[in-house]
Structure 1
Amino acid sequence: MKKIILAITCASIISSVNSFGVANAHYHDYHGHHDMNINTQTNRLNFDPLINNEIVDSMHMPMMNEEFVQSGNVDKDFIANMIPHHQGAIDSAKLILEYGSNEEVKAIARNIIKTQTKEIEDFNELLANGDFSNSNLSEKAYAEFVAKEKENMAEMMNKMIAVTRTRDKKTADYTFVLAMKYHHEGALEASKQILAYTKNPQIRKIAKNIIKDQAKEIKQFDKLIEQGL
Structure 2
Amino acid sequence: MSRILVVHGSPRGDRSTSRRLAEGFLSAWQARHPEGQITRREVGRVLVPPVNEAFVAAAFYPEPDARPLSMQADLALSDQLVGELFEHDLLLISTPMYNFSVPSGLKAWVDQIVRLGLTFDHTLDNGVAQYTPLLQGKKALIVTSRGGFGFGPGGALEALNHADPWLRTALGFVGINDVSVVAAEGEESAERTFAVSVAEAEQRLLDLARVF
Higher strand share: 2
Task: Answer 1 or 2: higher relative contact order, Cα 8 Å, separation at least 6.
Answer: 1
Band the TM-score falls in, shorter-chain normalisation: under 0.3
Using structure 2 for the length normalisation, give the TM-score: 0.27
Higher helix share: 1
Using structure 1 for the length normalisation, give the TM-score: 0.25
